[in-house]
Amino acid sequence: MTRYHEKQGGIYRSRTGVFLGVCKGIAEYFDLPVFWVRLALVILFIFSGFWPVIGVYLVAAFFMKPKPVKPLASEEEREFYDRYVHSPKAAAQRLKKKFTELERRIRNMEDKVTGREYDWERRFRS
């Protein structure tokens, strides 16, 4: 059986968790029932007090990325997702740059195919 973190490449907050998805994300990462993770959190809450547990929980929620909506198929997709989660604006700029480069390449191909030289070469070869 393939474990969650082996498929996804890291620990993520669950999108279907009760409160911010931290416990469910940890349970999925370590392949444990979410009940036991939540029980451990409650026991820590009882023995250590309100603020330490809530503080650690909120810090974990802040630093854990949300689970991707669809499974990540490759290392490149995981890298893009991680970058997007950290900086959506930078990821959008990278995408814009990539599509601008693709558009430039397509224009070059169109210019070549629709140019006079291409037409003469095609006629000459046939």
> How far is residue 115's CA from residue 5's CA, in Å, rounded to a whole number?
52
Q: Contact 105/53 with Cβ under 8 angstroms?
A: no
Q: Does the CA dihedral 34-27-57-86 come out positive or negative?
A: negative
State if pTM tops 0.85: no
pLDDT in 10s for each residue of the chain, 126 residues: 344 344 455 787 887 777 888 888 888 888 989 899 899 888 988 888 778 888 888 888 888 877 776 777 777 777 777 777 667 777 778 888 888 999 999 988 888 877 777 777 777 777
Burial of residue 99, with CB atoms counted within 10 A of its CB: 0-12 exposed, 13-18 middle, 19 or more buried: exposed
Strand partners, 12: 65
> Up-side HSE of residue 63: CA atoms within 13 Å toward CB?
8
